[in-house]
Amino acid sequence: GESVGLHLPTLSVQEGDNSIINCAYSNSASDYFIWYKQESGKGPQFIIDIRSNMDKRQGQRVTVLLNKTVKHLSLQIAATQPGDSAVYFCAENPPAYGQNFVFGPGTRLSVLP
Amino acid sequence: DSGVTQTPKHLITATGQRVTLRCSPRSGDLSVYWYQQSLDQGLQFLIQYYNGEERAKGNILERFSAQQFPDLHSELNLSSLELGDSALYFCASSLRTQGDTQYFGPGTRLTVL
């Protein structure tokens, strides 16, 4: 698997700009997806979720887009703030019994002043 | 604060030893999940318990075991510890089981010397 700490893809954005973090998921039958934010030294924190019967869902300053055709998920953060600096993980939920969420390798978001 | 608690926050021990990590789920949640997060492997699912019974198993070593008690708290036991077991161990909980949002605790950082 990919390294979380040393070799994460990194996205650097200017404070106030919009951020787009992408995720490719693996199972075309997955029916539920979550974005988590993990700050240094803390546990993953739920941001927003989306079910497979939707293409888009909006929260406060965040939007998740789901493209089932190409198995792609994206997280858009509006007006990025320094507090948004963290590692962002997508997670997919395969529908088969006994399977649990599969987490992507993560993307490190760095907000520049 | 997700409502999931984990103790201890930090644990330092020697190779060959055995440790127990503890997790209390959010009030009302029946499922508990254990994850290991290391620099080399990212966030890896270990095991899930639902209402006291093992529900799903991931990449959990035979040296590791877990249980969920009648009050729904869970313990992860790690034995014959090796240097490579050094990692962050997270517990998450969800209301029911597969497909429910998982909320993560703050984690236990295990260091094996």
User: Can you list the pairs that B67-70 forms with residues at least 24 positions away whose Cβ atoms lie under 8 Å?
Assistant: B68/B32
Residue-level pLDDT at B29: 96
Residue-level pLDDT at A59: 94
Residue-level pLDDT at A33: 93
pLDDT digits (tens, 9 = 90+) for B15-73: 999 999 999 999 999 999 999 998 766 788 899 999 999 998 888 999 999 999 999 99
pLDDT digits (tens, 9 = 90+) for B83-108: 999 999 999 999 987 778 899 999 99
B29, B32, B98: best to mutate for the A interface, most A CBs within 10 A: B98
Per the CB < 8 Å rule, is B99 touching A93? Answer: yes
Q: CA of B104: how far to CAs of A18, A67, B9, in Å?
A: 27, 27, 14
CA–CA gap between residue B69 and residue B22 (Å, rounded): 11
- Does residue A25 carry a pLDDT above 80? yes
pLDDT digits (tens, 9 = 90+) for A51-109: 999 999 999 999 999 999 999 999 999 999 999 999 999 999 877 655 678 888 899 99
Per the CB < 8 Å rule, is B48 touching A1? Answer: no
Say yes or no: A8 contacts chain B, CB-CB below 8 A. no
CA–CA gap between residue B49 and residue B75 (Å, rounded): 11
Q: Exposed (0-12), middle (13-18) or buried (19+): which is A113, by Cβ within 10 Å?
A: exposed
Q: CA of B30: how far to CAs of A89, B34, B75, B109, in Å?
A: 24, 14, 14, 24
CA–CA gap between residue A102 and residue A23 (Å, rounded): 12
Residue-level pLDDT at B59: 81
Residue-level pLDDT at A95: 75
Closest residue in A to B5 (Cα–Cα): A43
Q: Exposed (0-12), middle (13-18) or buried (19+): which is B34, by Cβ within 10 Å?
A: buried
Of B43, B101, B106, the CB nearest to A46: B101
Would you mind telling me the total number of residues written for chain A in this entry?
Answer: 113
Of A32, A42, A103, the CB nearest to B43: A103
Say yes or no: A4 contacts chain B, CB-CB below 8 A. yes
Residue predicted with more confidence, B4 or B39: B4
Residue-level pLDDT at B40: 61
- Does residue A5 carry a pLDDT above 90? no
Would you mind telling me the total number of residues written for chain B in this entry?
Answer: 113
Residue-level pLDDT at A96: 67
Residue-level pLDDT at A98: 59
Is omega for the bond preceding B106 within 30 degrees of 0, making it cis? no
